[in-house]
């Protein structure tokens, strides 16, 4: 069967990675670009933590997808459901078949709410349904986080970090610090038992910042339980089953407030495709970690959350990945080998209080990779908070999505 339509470049995904790459390709003079995504709303997700912490309104994190779509890019308002890299075709949710010469894969990841028994049911109840469960990983629930935080005066507050790669590895603990700072200001911090359950073996994987964050957690009296993850949730009883990976034992933990981070993985159709990396338990796309070119299909590139890269999944990483993808795709179009290299740069702005932040920047080798001259961004700073709340969103909407930065 021949494709219903054919494009020189097809981009799957209209999020940060897809829009940024489309804009850069257009600036480079590439024509006949199509972007496949059904979403009508474009979200600036890094601010959802501040929404949950009562420091930003949800409306400031969204714009229409049409307003960020680069001019000259054909927007196909459908979802991808399968890909055949041998035939160079993608099948859409409407049953259309779209052919391509070159493919950029950037659909993001999926939130596996069903990955923890009981989590999907508990969080889906309107208003939490008395379960006390919330998550900043969805715009639907982020405002609820603030409602629960400001309504809490005593009890046990649990914050989780699941096993496997997640969007912005610092986000699970950022909201803990915002909540604790609020409770401190309200004079009730000593009435609240704060527990951080992380499947990781360290609070933060890069040593200089791990030490700072350990002091921050200690300042708030938070109990850090590493190598621990939630394996079941009873929303009616407000009770967690927690597995200790180090000892192989499990225990029960009651809670009054639970900020849950769901397990995450590649979209199911990616997992089932030939693009998936057999070495990835979560089905992410197999790419060369430096060129971002697919290991087996040279006309395919992937970036952003869906790429199987040994670095944190952040918008800052995408900002560095997109120029590499565009430069290398242009080289392949000219019949040349990719030469541009991505060094694994990523950054995590960690909010530690309502008006303080530190900026962790590092590469594949977990070496610090500072980008702000003359400032010690490893310290909690008010100017870094201003950057997080106001500077980075402006850079995102007006610079990054336009392919300028």
192, containing H or E segment: strand 192-198
Query: How many angstroms separate the CA atoms of 168 and 152, rounded?
Result: 26
Report the Cα–Cα distance between both ends of the chain, in Å, rounded. Answer: 41
Which residue among the candidates 168, 213, 306, 325 is catalytic per the annotation? 168
From 155, 229, 160, select the one nearest 199 (Cα to Cα). Answer: 229
8 Å CB contact between 9 and 25: yes
Q: Which residues contact residue 382 at a Cβ distance below 8 angstroms, ignoring those fewer than 6 apart? A: 355, 356
Local structure of 111: helix, strand or coil? strand
Query: How many angstroms separate the CA atoms of 219 and 74, rounded?
Result: 52
86 in active site = no
Strands 257-259 and 249-254: unpaired
384, containing H or E segment: helix 382-386
168 in active site = yes
Q: CA 85, 88, 92: angle at the middle one, nearest 5?
A: 95
Tokens of 61: 């994190």
Which residue among the candidates 179, 242, 348, 351 is catalytic per the annotation? 348
8 Å CB contact between 134 and 255: no
Question: Where on the phi/psi map is residue 127: left (φ > 0), alpha (ψ -120 to 50), or beta?
Answer: left
CA 124 to chain centre: 21
Positions marked catalytic: 168, 348
């Amino acid at each position: 069967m021949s494709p219903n339509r054919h494009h020189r470049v097809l981009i799957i995904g209209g999020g940060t990675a897809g829009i940024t790459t489309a804009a850069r390709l257009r600036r480079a003079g590439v024509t006949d670009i199509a972007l496949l995504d059904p979403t009508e709303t474009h979200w600036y997700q890094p601010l959802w933590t501040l929404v949950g912490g009562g420091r930003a309104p949800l409306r400031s994190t969204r714009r229409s997808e049409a307003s960020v779509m680069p001019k000259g890019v054909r927007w196909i308002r459908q979802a991808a459901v399968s890909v055949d890299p041998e035939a160079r075709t993608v099948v859409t949710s409407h049953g259309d078949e779209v052919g391509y010469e070159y493919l950029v894969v950037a659909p993001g990841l999926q939130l596996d709410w069903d990955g923890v028994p009981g989590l999907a049911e508990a969080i889906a109840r309107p208003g939490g349904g008395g379960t006390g469960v919330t998550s900043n990983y969805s715009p639907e629930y982020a405002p609820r986080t603030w409602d629960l935080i400001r309504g809490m005066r005593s009890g046990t507050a649990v914050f989780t970090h699941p096993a496997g790669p997640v969007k912005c590895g610092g986000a699970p603990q950022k909201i803990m610090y915002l909540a604790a700072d609020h409770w401190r200001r309200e004079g009730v911090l000593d009435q609240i038992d704060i527990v951080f359950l992380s499947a990781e073996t360290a609070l933060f994987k890069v040593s200089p910042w791990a030490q700072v964050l350990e002091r921050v957690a200690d300042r708030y009296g938070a109990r850090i339980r590493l190598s621990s993850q939630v394996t079941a949730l009873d929303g009616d009883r407000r009770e967690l089953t927690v597995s200790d990976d180090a000892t192989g034992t499990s225990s029960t933990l009651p809670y009054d407030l639970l900020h849950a981070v769901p397990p995450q993985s590649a979209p199911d159709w990616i997992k089932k495709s030939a693009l998936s990396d057999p070495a990835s338990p979560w089905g992410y796309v197999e790419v060369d970690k430096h060129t971002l070119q697919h290991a087996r299909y040279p006309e395919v590139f992937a970036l952003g959350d869906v790429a199987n890269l040994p670095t944190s999944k952040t918008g800052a990483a995408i900002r560095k990945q997109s120029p590499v993808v565009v430069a290398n795709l242009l080289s392949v179009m000219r019949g040349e080998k990719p030469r541009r290299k991505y060094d694994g740069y990523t950054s995590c702005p960690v909010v530690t209080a309502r008006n303080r932040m530190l900026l962790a920047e590092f590469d594949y080798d977990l070496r610090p990779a500072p980008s702000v001259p003359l400032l010690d961004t490893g310290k909690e700073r008010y100017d870094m908070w201003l950057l997080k709340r106001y500077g980075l969103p402006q850079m995102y909407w007006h610079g990054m999505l336009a392919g300028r930065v």
